[in-house]
């Protein structure tokens, strides 16, 4: 390893999601300027840093220095302190205030800010409010710097350290020093890193906190994988392997967590080796939801003062609808049950059926509420039904500050009909909160496609509800004649069945096809083909905007055709605005396509929503993103909520549709080549779908049907409830 000392001249690229940085660094000893790459956080141009790493030779960019660890060195000279303060690193200190501080305190300026901030009041232009702001900002900055260096000593990179900061806040270091295993379940950390910190702090190997922390971490891993339980014998084996302790000690830890009511042990199969372990929260959520659903099913549905058949005929005639026998069965069936499921693939008439059901209820003067798991899915539901729709969280009156749902069993949702679309995206906890708030006077319909990817959160709710055979399910399988003209729809159904898509154009004549496969094995050539499709071929042939009209969906984040590299390459190709180094946002540029990464209820913008950067204001340290229905302002310190969105994951695309979809499909993404992922990606395309890659990768995805592999007891709970 080589250690260099100098200062950061300029940041060329900064990924707000994982803090990967490309910068220009001036070596203090040699005066040479080099390119450095690595995960650096909260380092600003002008700061003096000590970096440790190795020289690397990039195939495209040549020689660069790969940073493995880094340390900020506070400047001691007047020139260094001035540059440091004028860099904007401390909110409240601009160029004028920086000059006044230096004039008053000279070389002691930084020490005064850190150890005696009350003396700041001696400086002209600094009142109590400004002094408090500087004091608090310095504390935050110092806490962040100290945290990152503390974690770096245990081998935790800046990307993972940022996750710790986001999870635990500015007191993170103090919290970790007392409870090191609290960070084991934070993304990018893991138990081994937490264990290293604990060892560095001289915590004993057999202490209960370590054993309990390991078991909670292993349970958290199963939740991350989508499971709501793990078999007890498997958990003990995993614990022994992780902790290098005996099974007896692991069982003692489990017993402790059972007594604390953090974990629950059950046996549904009444066999010695079939004990299951669940986190109490998920156990209770599944159990309650199952009992509430069975209770709803036991309540009869009455329609007084109405001739159901006559009204149905009137509505269908008014809407000029001719329903299939499957749709008619569903139309009658949903009126006989408090809860039912409508499922089917694209082109089978789910939307038409929902519109007819809504119209019949409206004819009775009854209140209808339409909802979906995400904002974009709710917006799409509203567009196709011509009725208001909202997110499930909004329907439930979610308060993020208190993490509280206003609607519950004591204050239920006031609706005669509640329809939830894109139900495959509903996870276990959301289903719990939703079903808890459903009144026994409400008719509830879950509509969705069980062949799509399951929810991001744990569980496989829609699939389990269907599998239990306890809830009325109306399956739409017939593809309507108009839909048969679409190769996207016909191929989606082939993919759903595990069959190879047909790449010959549907229909007759010279009409352009809407589904293509471009055979290409080399990742660099796949990348090049995608860029050409976005920039030239699709806009020219189909008249679509290369940014707003085309969406690239990728199975994985890393690799040459992963989301990160696709975004960097497509940004460089599609956005010729001035280089992002000219503003302080890092890698964002005006006119960039970006995506919101988390629900922000205060800004009314939600996970997965995409927009275009309208303005970058370096003076106000803000950017404005233009979403389809609103403009949202972000401060620079909120930009971790955004990522580039020229390419996004298939999971993030659920609930959305795009004029054109392009998807790389390569064996480099082997672990993510799944039938339901491919099916979900293809069904996002409205006018055009293009797969770029190899037939081998395509066949792997078609054969890999992993839908059944999530561990959940929800279907069994529904049976025995």
pLDDT of residue 571: 95
Contact 99, 123 (CB under 8 A): no
For residue 41, the enclosing domain spans: 2-158
* 98 three-class SS: helix
Q: Assess whether 445 and 346 both reside in one domain.
A: yes
What is the pLDDT confidence band of residue 42, given thresholds at 50, 70 and 90?
confident
Do 356 and 383 fall within a single domain?
yes
Question: pLDDT tens digit string along 307-319?
Answer: 667 778 888 888 8
* H helical segments located in 153-181: 158-168, 172-178
Which residues does 627 contact at the CB level (< 8 Å), separation at least 6?
605, 609, 610, 611
Pair (425, 540) in one structural domain: no
Same domain membership, residue 98 and residue 62: yes
Same domain, 490 and 561: yes
- Residue-averaged pLDDT of the chain: 89
The mean pLDDT of 529-549, rounded to a whole number, is 95
Among 56-70, 164-178, 298-312, name the one with the lowest average pLDDT: 298-312
pLDDT by residue (tens digit) across 116-136? Answer: 999 999 999 899 999 999 998
Give yes or no for residue 708 having a pLDDT over 80.
Answer: no
Q: Is the pTM of this model over 0.85?
A: no
Distance between CA atoms of residues 113 and 129, nearest Å: 15
Residue ending a domain, choose from 134, 158, 182: 158
> pLDDT at residue 510 above 60?
no
Q: Is residue 379 located within the same domain as residue 398?
A: yes
Task: Report if residue 416 sits inside a domain.
Answer: yes
Q: What is the pLDDT of residue 156?
A: 84
Task: Quick: pLDDT tens for 65-83.
Answer: 999 888 888 888 888 888 7
User: Are both 697 and 560 inside the same structural domain?
Assistant: yes
Examine the pLDDT at 50 and tell me if it is beyond 60.
Answer: yes
- Per DSSP, the residues of 659-717 read EEEEEEE-GGGGGG--HHHHHHHHTTEEEEEEEEE-HHHHHHHHH---GGGS---HHHH
Predicted local distance difference test score (pLDDT) of residue 511: 60
Greatest pairwise CA separation for the chain in angstroms:
90
Please tell me the predicted confidence (pLDDT) of residue 400: 83
Q: Is residue 603 in some structural domain?
A: no
Give the CATH number for residue 685: 3.40.50.300
Q: Is the pLDDT of residue 508 over 50?
A: no
| Residues 373, 505 share a domain | no
Q: What is the pLDDT of residue 314?
A: 83
Count of domains in the chain?
A: 3
Per-residue pLDDT at 279? 97
Work out the pLDDT band at 144, boundaries 50, 70, 90. confident
Boundary (domain end) residue, out of 122, 139, 158? 158
One domain, residues 519 and 411: no
Is 716 among the domain residues? no
- Looking at 113, 136, 158, the residue that finishes a domain is 158
As a whole number of angstroms, the distance between CA 120 and CA 100 comes to: 10
Q: 399-420, pLDDT tens digit by residue? A: 887 889 999 999 999 999 999 9
495 and 450 inside one domain: no
For residues 201-223, average pLDDT: 93
Tens digits of residue pLDDT in 567-612: 999 999 999 887 554 555 567 999 999 999 888 888 888 888 899 9
From residue 555, give the alpha-carbon distance in Å to each of 56, 550, 634.
28, 17, 28
Q: Residues 182-193: what's their mean pLDDT?
A: 88
3-state helix, strand, coil in the chain (%, to 5): 45, 20, 35
Q: Is the pLDDT of residue 93 over 80?
A: yes
Locate the DSSP E strands across 531-621: 550-554, 593-596, 610-617
User: Is 37 a member of any domain?
Assistant: yes
Out of 372-381, 474-483, 549-558, 672-681, least confident range: 474-483
Tokens 């319909």 belong to 445
* Spatial contact of 398 and 601, defined as CB atoms under 8 Å apart: yes
Closest to 206 measured CA to CA, from 256, 274, 259, 156: 256
Residues in a beta bridge with 23: 11, 36
The answer to whether residues 430 and 341 belong to one domain is yes
Are residues 472 and 490 located together in one domain of the fold? no
> Rounded mean pLDDT of 100-116?
91
Alpha-carbon distance of 541 to 539, in angstroms, equals 6
Torsions phi, psi for 661 (to 5 deg) = -125, 135
């Amino acid at each position: 390893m080589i250690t260099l000392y100098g200062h950061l001249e300029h940041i060329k690229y900064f990924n707000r999601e994982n803090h990967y940085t490309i910068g220009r660094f001036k070596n203090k000893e040699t005066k040479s300027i080099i390119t450095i790459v690595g995960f650096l956080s909260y380092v600003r141009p002008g700061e003096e840093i000590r970096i440790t790493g190795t020289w690397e030779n990039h195939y495209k960019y040549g020689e660069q220095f790969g940073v493995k660890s880094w340390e900020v060195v506070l400047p001691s000279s007047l020139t260094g302190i001035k540059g440091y303060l004028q860099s904007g690193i401390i909110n409240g200190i601009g160029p004028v205030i920086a000059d006044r501080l230096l004039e008053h305190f000279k070389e002691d300026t930084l020490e005064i800010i850190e150890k005696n901030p009350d003396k700041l009041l001696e400086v002209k232009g600094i009142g109590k409010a400004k002094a408090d702001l500087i004091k608090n900002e310095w504390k935050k900055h110092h806490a962040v710097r100290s945290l990152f260096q503390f974690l770096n000593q245990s081998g935790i990179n800046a990307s993972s350290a940022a996750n710790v900061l986001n999870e635990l806040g500015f007191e993170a270091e103090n919290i970790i020093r007392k409870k090191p295993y609290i960070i084991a379940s934070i993304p990018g950390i893991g138990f081994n890193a937490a264990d290293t910190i604990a060892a560095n702090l001289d915590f004993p190997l057999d202490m209960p906190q370590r054993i309990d922390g390991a078991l909670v971490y292993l349970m958290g891993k199963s939740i991350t994988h989508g499971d709501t339980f793990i078999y007890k014998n498997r958990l003990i084996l995993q614990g022994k392997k992780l902790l290098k302790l005996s099974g007896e000690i692991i069982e003692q830890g489990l017993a402790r967590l059972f007594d604390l009511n953090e974990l629950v042990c059950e046996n549904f199969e009444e066999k010695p080796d079939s004990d299951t372990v669940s986190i109490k929260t998920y156990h209770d959520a599944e159990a309650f939801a199952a009992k509430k659903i069975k209770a709803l099913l036991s309540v009869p549905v009455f329609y007084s003062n109405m001739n159901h058949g006559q009204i149905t005929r009137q509505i269908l005639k008014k809407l000029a609808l001719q329903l299939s026998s499957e749709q008619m069965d569903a139309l009658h069936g949903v009126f006989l049950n408090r809860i039912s499921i409508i499922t089917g693939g694209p082109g089978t008439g789910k939307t038409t059926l929902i519109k007819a059901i809504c119209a019949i209820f409206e004819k009775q003067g009854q209140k209808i509420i339409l909802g979906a798991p995400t904002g974009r899915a709710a917006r799409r539901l509203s567009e196709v039904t011509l009725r208001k729709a909202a997110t499930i969280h909004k329907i439930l009156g979610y308060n993020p500050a208190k993490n509280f749902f206003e609607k519950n069993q004591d204050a239920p949702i006031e609706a005669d009909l509640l329809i939830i679309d894109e139900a495959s995206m509903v996870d276990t906890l959301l289903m719990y909160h939703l079903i808890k708030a459903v009144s026994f006077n409400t008719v509830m319909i879950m509509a969705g496609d069980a062949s799509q990817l399951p929810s991001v959160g744990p569980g496989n709710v829609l699939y389990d509800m269907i599998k239990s055979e306890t809830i009325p399910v109306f399956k739409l399988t017939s593809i309507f004649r108009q839909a048969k003209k679409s190769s996207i729809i016909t191929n989606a159904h082939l993919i759903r069945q595990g069959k190879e898509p047909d790449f010959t154009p549907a229909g007759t004549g010279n009409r352009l096809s809407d589904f293509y496969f471009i055979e290409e094995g080399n990742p660099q050539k796949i990348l090049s083909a995608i860029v050409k499709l976005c920039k030239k071929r699709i806009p020219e042939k189909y008249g679509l905007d290369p940014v707003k009209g085309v969406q690239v969906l990728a199975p994985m984040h890393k690799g040459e055709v992963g989301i990160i590299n696709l975004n960097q390459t497509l940004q460089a190709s599609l956005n010729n605005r001035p280089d992002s180094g000219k503003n302080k946002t890092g890698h964002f540029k005006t006119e960039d396509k970006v995506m919101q990464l988390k629900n922000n209820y205060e800004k009314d913008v939600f996970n997965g929503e995409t927009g275009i950067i309208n303005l970058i204001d370096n003076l106000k340290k803000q950017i404005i993103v233009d979403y389809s229905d609103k403009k949202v302002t972000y401060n620079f310190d909120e930009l971790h909520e955004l990522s580039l969105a020229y390419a996004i994951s298939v999971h993030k695309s659920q609930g959305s549709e795009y004029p054109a979809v392009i998807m790389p499909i390569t064996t480099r993404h082997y672990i993510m080549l799944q039938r339901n992922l491919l099916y979900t990606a293809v069904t996002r395309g409205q006018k055009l779908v293009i797969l770029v890659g190899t037939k081998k990768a395509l066949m792997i995805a078609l054969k890999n049907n992993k839908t059944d592999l999530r561990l959940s007891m929800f279907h069994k709970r529904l049976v025995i409830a």
